[in-house]
Amino acid sequence: MSKKVVVIGSTNVDKVLNVDKYALPGETLAVENHQESHGGGKGANQAIAAARSGADTTFITKLGDDEDAKFMIEGFKKDGMNIDSVITTQARQTGQAYITVDSTGQNSIYVYGGANMSMTPADVDQHEDAIKNADRAIAQLEIPVPTIIEAFKIAKKNEVQTILNPAPAKKLPEELLQLTDIITPNETEAEALTGIKVIDDDSMMKNAEYFFKLGIRMVIITVGDKGSFYATPASHAFIPAFKVKAVDTTAAGDTFIGALASRLDLNSANIRDAMLYANHASSLTVQVAGAQNSIPYEKDVLDVISKTSKTKEAIEKEKKQAAEYAAAQVPNHIVLGLGSGSTAAYFVKAINERIKKEGLDIQCVATSVGTEKLAESLGMPMLDVNTIDRVDLTVDGADAVDDKLNGIKGGGAALLFEKLVATMSDKNIWIVDSTKYHKTLAGQKLPVEVIPFGGMGVFRYLNEAGYKPEFRFRDDGDILQTDSGNYLIDITIPDDADLAKLAHNLKNYTGVVEHGLFLNICDQLIIGGDKVRVIDRPKEETKK
Ligand SMILES: Nc1ncnc2c1ncn2[C@@H]1O[C@H](COP(=O)(O)OP(=O)(O)OP(=O)(O)O)[C@@H](O)[C@H]1O
Ligand SMILES: [K+]
């Protein structure tokens, strides 16, 4: 189960200086904060990441005969790595990176390759066995390219899988790429090799095809906080990153590769699970300052994975509880609006059961293509929304609701039809899990549906007005289109927002079709839980 990984690569000691501002040429500045030395170097980071994720890891690296080397070897031992192939030279010092970070978080880095750059093919030959005995070998570009070629030749001769992390970005001889089974560039590194800019799913596939032609079997492109993409000649997918508060992304890419190498089966059958694991691992790394100290252990990664799946399960349960509670309240002989999204889907199934079991006379109207398909597949009695002018009751989910029962909808991209049906409904009931209920809507994401032609104009306006707009993309990287073929722009509701004014302003902007603010629409909110909570709109508040 546990993979045998050999990393052939660099070790650096990072010397970090925190400065208020950079010194100009000829200028001397006094510095108050001097951080201790930290372990670094892409080879060491990836080896540590693999070891901490449970791989049986051997590291082939070259160090000087100095204090830095002792410091690094101590760390390797603590992480349980096999250090029999750590080479020491008298001729050069251990690699060093001089990093200055200014008060804005910007950094500038000078790297002294030192012993790393003196690692020769002959050094690798000396440790041939370490490569032969591994399942997979990983290399990066902080050691001389001929040395990597030699290591990969040994690997290929012995049917050991090769992973090349082509970082830092540079052009490479085809010989090396032809010896590579899996390549793992980030977007900049991919472009440096292929000349094809990574902008969307299509361009990632074009990058992948470039590498396939050279005999590479799998391409993984990491795209920072957006996530990561994998492609083999048989399949491909984009896996979004987890939303976390990033404080320092140093070692994110290295963590991703080490973690992936420790999980991925040799036949790559579990690629999605391995990518998810690597995504989780690197999302932990970016939440901690520094490089090697921020690389998580297997236990930490598995903990977040299990917490995420437990939270997910609990949320699904609450959605279902709210939906079933609502379904039980629906009166007979009505026209019923069916909302969209995952919570509404639970409701559709629950009310369908009641209609069938109790022989109810209920006609239904769907608020999205998705809901219509679901209802039809269940054989429910459906009305065309164009043939009616009122609905008795609509039951729908919501993305966020405040304590005045104002809410945001449209996370599932069906906001236009949802709003149409909601405004023709005599009564609107919203069903949510407890994570959707908030004191205020400030800080929440609000979808704005715009016509594709002119969408950029709206985007610019929203940006200038400080709403932090972002176009909505699908998981595969393509721009998302709503059921009516429009685009969605997500904005963030400001702290001091007057919701009624915001709704009015958005609606008045040319090119905006609809927005996701649903004010004075919800009459009753049902929040799932072991004890379901029901909140009614206060009587004195006027409707619509
Ligand atoms: N801000 C972030 N939030 C969540 N996950 C992130 C973030 N940044 C990076 N990641 C995760 O780390 C992976 C690798 O990141 P990235 O593409 O930035 O690598 P990189 O450019 O090689 O990074 P570095 O050189 O800083 O180590 C991403 O695919 C993603 O899973
Ligand atoms: K970090």
Edge-to-edge strands, sheet with 524-527: 362-366, 334-338, 391-396, 425-432, 524-527, 533-536
Ligand closest to Cα of 290 equals 2
Q: What is the DSSP letter of 102?
A: -
Nearest atom (ligand 1) to Cα of 188: 21
Strands 236-240 and 425-432: unpaired
Edge-to-edge strands, sheet with 487-492: 470-471, 487-492, 445-450, 512-515
Neighbours of 480 (CB within 10 A): 14
Mutate to test the pocket of ligand 1, among 184, 282, 294 (most ligand atoms within 8 A of CB): 282
Only one residue has tokens 């520094």, namely 290
Residue 130 phi, psi dihedral angles, 5° rounding: -60, -35
Report which protein residue has its CA nearest ligand 1's atom 2. Answer: 225
Q: Mention every residue, 6+ apart, whose C-beta is less than 8 A from residue 299.
A: none
Question: 291-320: buried (b, 16+ CB within 10 Å) or exposed (e) per residue?
Answer: bbebbbbbeebbebbeeeeeeeeebeebbb
CB of 295 shorter than 6 A to ligand 1: no
Report which protein residue has its CA nearest ligand 1's atom 6. Answer: 225
Ligand closest to Cα of 254 equals 1
CATH 3.40.1190.20 boundaries in the chain: 4-296
Distance in Å, CA 248 to ligand 1 centroid: 10
Token readout for 126 is 């000396």
Distance in Å, CA 222 to ligand 1 centroid: 7
Ligand closest to Cα of 287 equals 2
Pair 23, 55: CB distance under 8 Å: no
| 409 among annotated binding-site residues | yes
Nearest residue to 521 (alpha-carbon basis) of 407, 417, 415: 407
Dihedral (CA of 254, 256, 257, 261) sign: positive
CB of 237 shorter than 6 A to ligand 1: no
Distance in Å, CA 106 to ligand 2 centroid: 14
| 253 among annotated binding-site residues | yes
Q: At what angle do helices 67-78 and 42-52 cross, to 10 degrees?
A: 20
Q: What is the pLDDT along the chain (544 residues), one digit of tens a residue?
A: 689 999 999 999 998 888 888 888 899 998 887 777 889 999 999 999 999 999 999 999 999 999 999 999 999 999 999 999 999 999 999 999 998 888 776 778 899 999 999 999 999 999 999 999 999 999 999 999 999 999 999 999 999 999 999 999 999 999 999 999 999 999 999 999 999 999 888 999 999 999 999 999 999 999 999 999 999 999 999 998 998 888 888 899 999 999 999 999 999 999 999 999 999 999 999 999 888 999 999 999 999 999 888 888 999 999 999 999 999 999 999 999 999 999 999 999 999 999 999 999 999 999 888 899 999 999 998 998 888 889 999 999 999 999 999 999 976 667 778 888 898 999 999 999 999 999 999 989 999 999 888 778 888 988 888 888 988 887 666 788 887 788 989 999 988 889 999 999 998 888 898 899 999 999 999 999 999 999 999 876 554 4
| 225 among annotated binding-site residues | yes
DSSP assignment string, 114-159: GGGGG--HHHHHHTHHHHHT-SEEEE-SSS-HHHHHHHHHHHHHTT
Report pLDDT for 381.
86
Q: What's the first-to-final CA gap in the chain, in angstroms?
A: 61
DSSP β-bridge partners for residue 285: none
Ligand closest to Cα of 285 equals 2
Q: Mention every residue, 6+ apart, whose C-beta is less than 8 A from residue 317.
A: 528
CB of 227 shorter than 6 A to ligand 1: yes
CA distance 60 to 53: 19
Report which protein residue has its CA nearest ligand 1's atom 9. Answer: 224
Q: Does domain 4-296 have CATH number 3.40.1190.20?
A: yes
Report which protein residue has its CA nearest ligand 1's atom 31. Answer: 279
Note the residue count of the chain. 544
Cα separations in angstroms, 237 against 199, 221, 267, 270, 475: 15, 11, 17, 13, 8
CB of 186 shorter than 6 A to ligand 1: yes
pLDDT digits (tens, 9 = 90+) for 408-426: 997 666 777 888 889 899 9
Distance in Å, CA 97 to ligand 2 centroid: 16
CB of 286 shorter than 6 A to ligand 1: yes
As annotated, the active-site residues are 254, 418
CB of 246 shorter than 6 A to ligand 1: yes
CB of 222 shorter than 6 A to ligand 1: yes
Pick the CATH number of 318-536 from 1.20.1250.20, 3.30.365.10, 3.40.50.1360, 3.30.43.10: 3.40.50.1360
| 285 among annotated binding-site residues | yes
**98 burial type by CB count under 10 A (0-12 exposed, 13-18 middle, 19+ buried):** middle
CB of 334 shorter than 6 A to ligand 1: no
Distance in Å, CA 41 to ligand 2 centroid: 13
Nearest residue to 166 (alpha-carbon basis) of 203, 139, 147, 143: 139
CB of 240 shorter than 6 A to ligand 1: no
CATH 3.40.50.1360 boundaries in the chain: 318-536
Helix extents (H) in 53-94 = 67-78
